[in-house]
């Protein structure tokens, strides 16, 4: 790094160290935070103790868990299910070219889901869940007893491993309840080249045991997959969709961190979304009749980001035979792929709402995908995408620059007004300044409106890049992964709001933002009518530098490119726009207004009034 960069970092560190002392929590707040963290840690510890045996398996064997003897309990109070409470967990694999799913005979539940085309940020196999970090099974009342199939051992005739083929693969697991033919059955079917698999649940003869209040309980500890935990945590959440309705995102509350859906509201799917991947359970023809959902934040020192829990009501009405077709999706959050599946699963990709989502879905993403058909380098794709967007916005940019040019050439006259009228008469100053603008026909906000019209595009890009799985682990220049920050220097300490690293694209974005503002005349300079405004205009880019330091390098690279192009456009505008001619034209309008001459617009209004019979007052 050069000397200027080091000086800049030292200054930033000094400012933020002072800020840290000013905002340091008191002893009571520290104690409360520690109490909360300890409580969450205790919750997680129970699950990690159960998974300890699995964690000690050598890394090269974790992809296929070793067989382990697991006891499900003594069988007391389980009635006819007691014989299935003891056994040995065995593991069965369904696999295609994209997904490797391991299913445990204990609970007949998905035990491990590996996405074969992806790796974690540290190049390890990517598991959406593994071992006891996930549980899935039925919970219900049967003859007055509470039964959970998670701890019961199912039977199957399947082989432990099924070869990868070009045909669908199926495994059925059965839990016989008695010798009369009553049973619970799960059937998993995986298709070639798919992340979506079928899951059919059958209950036969369960009505004779007064089976009631059947719930499907599904828990997952969502692991950290990406380098930036803070950014990944932002995009990790629980989503659900009402039947033939909207997709909702779980809203975390300060004290109430669960959400209950009443029986009158039917649910079609529930998804546990990570930043770039998702685990979804989806009802086909028979929806869930409400349910209970919960999301818990986990401590920063945990290898998991959040814990998700759902208890979904199964519409079982004590029939002799009940069947519910379901689907699981274990795969990437790729907008177009999810859209092809249907059921509005593409809403899992966080690209904004209302207008922002429309811009991304129908403009940005199609252009991005079209460029991707011809170009494999995502840095070049972002460059071309930025050029296309800036060209589309060129008329607005030109109008904004022209309005600011008018304000610049009028500045000497505004300064003259300020010299004539003392500061104590601020209202009189403002009225005189606005009178000047009115005479010359200049709107002081004229440069702001075109900029405001560009804001939805800028915000759409802010939502697009961090959610784009295409950028994940794609390198460009010094950035090794465009989906996360491009660190060029790791700091031995953490700066509040900024982080423990220095992102070069973020610094370049900040510098070019300030240069662009200075060139376009957005800083009002010595305008005494706006005290402190110049300082504020320079503080804003620095604030964004702090906010975006841990964001996607693709995003800050885009903003840097947009600033560079804007600077180039300003040079062109400056070459083609004659500010002296603008001043002459404005002074001409001012002279006409002073002579009492009417503008063409005013003349038209008066002519229209006369035609309609109005008598205009004489001056």
Q: Are residues 588 and 564 in the same domain?
A: no
Instruction: Kindly tell me if the per-residue pLDDT of 162 is higher than 80.
Output: no
Are 75 and 37 part of one and the same domain?
Answer: no
Residue range 176-183: average pLDDT?
82
CB 436 within 8 Å of CB 413? yes
pLDDT of 118: 92
Q: For residue 33, what pLDDT is reported? A: 46
Cα 275 to Cα 193: distance, rounded to the nearest angstrom: 22
Q: Which helix (H) or strand (E) holds 118?
A: strand 109-119
The pLDDT-based confidence of 505 (bands split at 50, 70, 90) is very high
**pLDDT tens digits, 302-352:** 889 999 999 998 888 888 889 999 999 999 999 888 989 988 898 888 777
Q: What is the mean pLDDT of residues 360-379?
A: 87
pLDDT tens for each residue of 201-255: 998 988 888 888 888 999 999 999 888 788 888 888 999 998 888 888 887 654 4
Cβ within 8 Å of residue 254, ≥6 positions away: none
Torsion of the alpha carbons at 332, 336, 340 and 345, rounded to the nearest 10? 60
pLDDT-derived band of residue 125, with 50, 70 and 90 as boundaries?
Answer: very high
Count how many Cα atoms sit within 13 Å of the Cα of residue 592 in the half-sphere of its side chain.
15
Better-predicted residue by pLDDT, 168 or 458: 168
Q: What is the pLDDT of residue 246?
A: 83
CA separation (Å) from 568 to 97, 133, 509, 519, 525?
Answer: 47, 53, 15, 10, 22
Q: Shortest CA distance to 552 belongs to which of 382, 307, 335, 353?
A: 382
pLDDT on residue 66:
33
Which tens digit of pLDDT belongs to each residue from 93-121? 998 989 999 999 999 999 999 999 999 98
| Overall domain count for the chain | 4
Q: Determine how many CB atoms are found less than 10 A away from the CB of residue 606.
A: 12
519-564 pLDDT, tens digit each: 765 544 444 445 555 666 778 888 888 888 888 888 899 999 988 9
Report the C-alpha gap between 43 and 393 in whole angstroms: 52
Classify burial at 338, counting beta carbons within 10 Å of its beta carbon; exposed 0-12, middle 13-18, buried 19 or more: buried
The predicted structure's pLDDT at residue 298: 87
- More confident position, 432 or 195: 195
User: For residue 387, how many other CB atoms are within 10 A of its CB?
Assistant: 13
87, pLDDT greater than 80: yes
How many angstroms separate the Cα of 195 from the Cα of each of 283, 332, 449, 507?
16, 8, 46, 39
Q: Is a pLDDT exceeding 70 seen at residue 461? A: yes
* Residue 323 maps to a domain: yes
The answer to whether residue 420 sits within a structural domain is yes
Distances (CA, A) of 135 to 107, 108, 278, 492: 8, 10, 16, 39
Residues 548 and 598 in one domain: no
Report whether pLDDT(54) > 80. no
Is residue 446 within 8 A of residue 456, CB to CB? The reply is no
Span 397-413, mean pLDDT?
79
Query: In the structure, what pLDDT confidence band is assigned to residue 357 with cuts at 50, 70 and 90?
Result: confident
Which pLDDT does position 196 carry in this prediction?
93
- Residue 431 in this model has a pLDDT that exceeds 90: no
Residue-level pLDDT at 67: 29
Q: Which two tokens stand for residue 613?
A: 């019979």
The reply to whether 101 and 243 lie within a common domain is yes
Domain contains 274: yes
Instruction: Select, from the ranges 156-165, 261-270, 380-389, the one with the highest average predicted confidence (pLDDT).
Output: 380-389
322 shares its domain with 389: no
Query: For residue 86, what are the contacts with CB-CB under 8 A and spacing of at least 6?
Result: 71, 72, 73, 75, 153
For 377, counting Cβ atoms within 10 Å of its Cβ (0-12 exposed, 13-18 middle, 19+ buried), the class is: exposed
Helix (H) or strand (E) holding 41: helix 27-50
Instruction: Show contacts of 119-127: CB within 8 Å, 24+ apart.
Output: 119/473, 120/225, 120/226, 121/225, 121/226, 121/227, 121/473, 121/481, 121/484, 124/59, 125/62, 125/63, 126/225, 126/277, 127/223
Whole-angstrom distance, CA of residue 189 vs CA of residue 455: 46
Average pLDDT, the chain: 77
In a domain, 62, yes or no: no
Confidence of residue 173 (pLDDT cuts 50, 70, 90): very high
Would 72 be classed as within a structural domain?
A: yes
173 half-sphere exposure, CB direction, 13 A CA radius: 26
CA distance 552 to 243: 34
User: Cβ-count burial of 378 within 10 angstroms (0-12 exposed, 13-18 middle, 19+ buried)?
Assistant: buried
Q: How far is CA 273 from the centre of its chain?
A: 10
Average of per-residue pLDDT across 406-428: 79
Among 77-86, 285-294, 605-614, where is mean pLDDT lowest? 605-614
* Whether residues 21 and 95 fall in one domain: no
Give yes or no: residues 571 and 587 share one domain: no
Band of residue 163 on the pLDDT scale cut at 50, 70, 90: low
N- to C-terminal Cα separation, the chain: 71
Helix (H), strand (E) at residue 391: helix 378-392
Q: Which of 230, 213, 271, 281 is nearest to 247 (CA)?
A: 271
Integer Cα distance of 109 and 272 in angstroms: 16
3-state secondary structure of 322: strand
Residue 569 forms part of a structural domain: yes
d(CA 279, CA 313): 19
- Does 594 reside within a domain? yes
Q: Are 371 and 267 contained in the same domain?
A: no
Neighbouring-strand partners of residue 184 = 175, 203
Question: Do 428 and 285 fall into the same domain?
Answer: no
Which structural domain, as residue segments, surrounds residue 13?
A: 1-50
The DSSP symbol for 524 reads -
List pLDDT tens digits, range 182-204. Answer: 899 999 999 999 999 999 999 89
Residue 36 vs residues 136, 231, 447, 538, 605: alpha-carbon distances, Å: 27, 22, 49, 39, 69
Q: Which residue has the higher pLDDT, 263 or 487?
A: 487
Q: Are residues 166 and 189 in the same domain?
A: yes
Asked whether the predicted pLDDT for residue 468 surpasses 60, the reply is yes
Q: Please give the pLDDT value at position 42.
A: 37
| 137/277 same-domain check | yes
Buried b (16+ CB within 10 A) or exposed e, 209-238: bebeebbbbbbbbbbbbbbbeebbbebbbb
* 421 lies in the same domain as 484: yes
Position 357 in a domain: no
User: Mean pLDDT, to the nearest integer, of 486-511?
Assistant: 87
* Low-confidence winner among 34-48, 368-382, 575-589 (lowest mean pLDDT): 34-48
Q: Which residue has the higher pLDDT, 269 or 518?
A: 269
**446's torsion region: left (phi>0), alpha (psi -120 to 50) or beta?**
alpha
- Phi, psi for residue 291 in degrees, rounded to 5: 165, -175
């Amino acid at each position: 790094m050069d000397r200027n960069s080091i000086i800049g970092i030292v200054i930033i560190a000094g400012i933020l160290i002072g800020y840290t002392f000013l905002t340091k929590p008191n002893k009571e707040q520290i104690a409360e935070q520690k109490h909360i963290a300890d409580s969450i840690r205790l919750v997680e510890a129970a699950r990690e103790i159960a998974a300890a045996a699995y964690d000690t398996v050598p890394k090269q064997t974790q992809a296929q868990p070793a067989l382990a003897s697991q006891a499900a309990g003594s069988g007391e109070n389980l009635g006819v299910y007691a014989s299935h409470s003891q056994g040995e967990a065995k593991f069965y694999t369904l696999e295609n070219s994209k997904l490797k799913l391991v299913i445990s005979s204990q609970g007949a539940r998905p035990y491990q889901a590996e996405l074969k085309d992806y790796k974690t940020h540290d190049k390890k196999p990517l598991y959406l869940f593994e071992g006891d970090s996930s549980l899935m099974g039925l919970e219900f009342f049967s003859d007055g007893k509470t039964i959970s199939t998670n701890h019961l051992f199912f039977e199957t005739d399947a082989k432990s491993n099924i070869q990868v083929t070009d045909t669908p693969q199926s495994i059925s697991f059965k839990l016989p309840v008695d010798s009369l033919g009553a049973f619970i059955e799960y059937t998993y079917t995986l298709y070639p080249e798919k992340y979506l698999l079928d899951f059919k649940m059958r209950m036969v003869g369960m009505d004779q045991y007064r089976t009631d209040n059947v719930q499907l309980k599904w828990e997952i500890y969502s692991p950290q997959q990406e380098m930036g935990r803070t950014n990944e945590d932002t995009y990790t959440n629980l989503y659900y969709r009402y039947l033939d309705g909207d997709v909702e995102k779980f809203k975390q509350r300060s004290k109430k961190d669960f959400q209950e859906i009443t029986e009158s509201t039917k649910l079609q799917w529930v998804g546990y979304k990570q930043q770039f991947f998702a685990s979804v359970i989806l009802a086909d023809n028979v929806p869930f009749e409400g349910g209970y959902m919960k999301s818990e934040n986990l401590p920063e020192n945990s290898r998991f980001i959040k814990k998700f829990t759902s208890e979904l009501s199964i519409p079982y009405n004590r029939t002799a035979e009940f069947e519910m077709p379901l689907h699981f999706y274990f795969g990437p959050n790729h907008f177009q792929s999810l859209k092809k599946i249907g059921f509005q699963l593409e809403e899992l990709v966080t690209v904004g709402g209302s207008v922002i989502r429309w811009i991304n879905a129908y403009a940005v993403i199609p252009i991005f995908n079209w460029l991707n058909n011809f170009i494999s380098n995502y840095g070049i794709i972002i460059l071309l995408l930025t050029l296309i967007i800036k060209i589309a916005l060129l008329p607005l940019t030109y109008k904004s620059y022209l309005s600011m040019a008018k304000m610049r050439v009028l500045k000497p006259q505004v300064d003259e007004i300020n010299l004539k009228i003392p500061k104590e008469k601020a209202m009189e100053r403002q009225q005189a300044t606005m009178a000047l603008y009115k005479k010359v026909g200049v709107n002081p906000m004229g440069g702001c409106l075109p900029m405001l019209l560009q804001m939805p595009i800028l915000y759409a890009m802010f939502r697009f890049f961090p959610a784009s799985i295409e950028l994940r682990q794609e390198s460009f220049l010094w950035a090794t992964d465009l989906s996360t920050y491009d660190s060029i220097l790791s700091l031995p300490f953490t700066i509040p709001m900024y982080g423990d690293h220095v992102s070069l694209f973020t610094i370049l974005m900040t510098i070019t933002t300030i240069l662009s503002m200075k060139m376009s005349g957005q800083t009002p300079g010595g305008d005494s009518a706006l005290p402190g405004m110049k300082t504020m205009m320079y503080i804003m880019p620095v604030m964004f530098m702090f906010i975006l330091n841990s964001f996607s390098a693709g995003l800050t690279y885009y903003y840097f490119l947009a600033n560079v192009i804007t600077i180039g456009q300003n040079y062109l505008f400056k070459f083609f726009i004659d500010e002296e001619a603008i001043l002459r034209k404005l002074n001409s309008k001012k002279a006409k207004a002073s002579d009492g001459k009417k503008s063409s617009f005013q003349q038209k209004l008066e002519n229209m009034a006369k035609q309609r019979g109005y008598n205009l007052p004489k001056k």
